[in-house]
């Protein structure tokens, strides 16, 4: 018996060493307790950072500080670090082809298979510079690390960006958004720069600097590659940049949506502006939607810009994320812990 135990320990050690040599992130697995909290109404009080409806119709809502909840049409079921989630701040949610739900958090990635969580902590100790991945892999930000986590179907890989020679005011290559384009490219927004992986190589979009005025700096907070091949880049301070073909313009400037006395930075902006854009989404009919930190929500129909407030009065919340569900409903996750649906000319509380 002792001999068998020794052999078993050696086998496990060898398997773990092999996994680490292959570059896989450390994996931790936790079982779900049967006592997971459930409520009849949504009880989040912090921002809704992410929304996803799975193939079975369940809604998954990621919060800024309180983990994630699942609404099955009847009740809300909550998952936090107590149930095995790796971190309470859930920035993105995806479903893979096998029906597993993936959560990109501030401290790594969690996968829920319906029974348990498998966790992949952020780990920049073994960065890979050879981007041997494909667009169909699962992509996540890597928290404070200056790179991305990519799950290739077998293991989680960490890929780093080239180091910058100079340091900008918001200096890091921390990822603030990822968008896949119709031509198979993956666009990766960071605070300072915009990167593109074309399936073979990683390059940086240099033309962003051409649009800057004196004193401006890039501070990207959102990214969208739309169905028409256009690239929308939301900034905190200088609004929206639009890249199409070989041309890059400041869309906010071109449409008179930056205030004449704007500091073009992170300062508060008045109503009627589009300077601090934290989410961008294309709806089912091709309209482009922008969520501004200070000025509500904007819709661009290809010709005109229309401004909406999610709620009237001083309590009007900011939209952190925009999502289209399986029925085509356009949903906005807000800073007041609720989700709102756009109903043609106004917003109603959805969750």
Pick from 71, 148, 76: nearest CA to 109: 148
Q: Tell me: the pLDDT tens digits for 249-271?
A: 999 999 999 999 999 999 999 99
Distance CA 127, CA 147 (A): 9
pTM of the model: 0.90
Three-class secondary structure of residue 21 per DSSP: helix
Task: Give the residue from 109, 188, 192, 183 showing the smallest Cα distance to 152.
Answer: 109
Q: Is the pLDDT of residue 40 over 60?
A: yes
Mean pLDDT (whole number) for 124-137: 86
- DSSP output for 52-100: EE-TTS-EEEEESSS-EEEE-SS-EEEE-GGGT-S-S-EEEEEE-TTS-
Report residue 165's pLDDT band, with 50, 70 and 90 as the boundaries.
Answer: low
Domain containing residue 176: 2-349
Q: What dihedral do alpha carbons 326, 327, 329, 332 form, nearest 10°?
A: -20
**Is 13's pLDDT higher than 50?**
no
Tell me what the mean pLDDT of segment 53-72 comes to.
97
For residue 8, pLDDT beyond 50: no
Give the pair of three-digit tokens for residue 144: 């404070």
Total tally of structural domains belonging to the chain: 1
Judge whether 92 and 104 are in contact, CB under 8 Å: yes
Q: What is residue 41's predicted lDDT score, i.e. its pLDDT?
A: 94
CB 160 within 8 A of CB 195: no
Distances (CA, A) of 21 to 24, 150, 236: 8, 17, 40
List the CATH number of the domain containing 320: 2.130.10.10
pLDDT of 179 strictly over 70: yes
* pLDDT score of 77 more than 80: yes
What pLDDT score was predicted for residue 28? 63
pLDDT of residue 206: 87
Could you identify the residue written with the tokens 């990167």? Answer: 195
3-state secondary structure of 310: coil
Q: Tell me the pLDDT of the chain averaged across its residues.
A: 89
With cut-offs at 50, 70 and 90, classify the pLDDT of residue 1. very low
For residue 129, name the pLDDT band (cuts at 50, 70, 90): confident
How does pLDDT run across 279-332, given as a tens digit for each residue?
999 999 999 999 999 999 999 999 999 999 998 776 789 999 999 999 999 999
In sequence order, which ranges of the chain are alpha helices (DSSP H)?
2-21, 251-254
Pick the more confident residue, 126 or 156: 156
Q: For residues 351 and 345, what is the distance between their CA atoms, to the nearest angstrom?
A: 19
340-350 pLDDT, tens digit per residue, is 999 998 999 99
- Checking if the pLDDT of 9 tops 50, the result is no
Q: Tens of pLDDT along 180-203?
A: 999 999 999 999 899 999 999 999
């Amino acid at each position: 018996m002792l001999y068998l135990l020794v052999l078993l320990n050696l086998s496990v050690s060898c398997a773990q060493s092999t996994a680490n040599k292959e570059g896989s992130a450390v994996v931790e697995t936790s079982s779900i307790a049967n006592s997971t909290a459930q409520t009849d109404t949504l009880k989040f009080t912090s921002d809704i950072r992410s929304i996803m409806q799975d193939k079975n119709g369940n809604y998954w809502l990621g919060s800024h500080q309180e983990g994630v909840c699942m609404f099955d049409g009847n009740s809300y079921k909550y998952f936090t670090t107590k149930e095995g989630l790796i971190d309470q701040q859930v920035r993105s949610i995806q479903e893979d082809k096998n029906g597993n739900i993936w959560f990109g958090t501030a401290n790594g990635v969690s996968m829920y298979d319906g029974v348990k969580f498998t966790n992949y902590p952020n780990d920049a100790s073994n960065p890979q510079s050879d981007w041997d991945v494909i667009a169909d892999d699962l992509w996540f930000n890597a928290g404070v690390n200056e790179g991305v986590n990519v799950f290739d179907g077998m293991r989680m890989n960490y890929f780093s960006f080239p180091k910058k020679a100079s340091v900008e005011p918001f200096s890091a290559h921390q990822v603030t958004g990822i968008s896949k384009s119709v031509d198979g490219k993956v666009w990766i927004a960071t605070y300072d720069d915009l990167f593109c992986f074309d399936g073979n190589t990683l390059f940086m979009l240099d033309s962003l600097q051409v649009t800057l005025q004196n004193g401006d700096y890039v501070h990207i907070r959102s990214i969208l590659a739309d169905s028409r091949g256009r690239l929308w880049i939301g900034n905190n301070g200088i609004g929206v940049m639009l890249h199409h073909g070989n041309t890059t313009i400041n869309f906010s400037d071109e449409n008179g949506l930056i205030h004449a006395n704007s500091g073009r930075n992170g300062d508060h902006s008045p109503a009627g502006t589009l300077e601090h854009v934290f989410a961008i989404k294309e709806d089912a009919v091709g309209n482009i939607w922008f969520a501004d930190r200070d000025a509500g929500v904007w819709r661009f129909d290809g010709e005109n810009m229309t401004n909406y407030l999610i709620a009237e009065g001083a309590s009007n919340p900011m939209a952190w994320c925009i999502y289209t569900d399986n029925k085509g409903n356009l949903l906005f996750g807000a800073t007041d812990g609720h989700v709102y649906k756009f109903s043609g000319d106004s917003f109603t509380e959805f969750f």
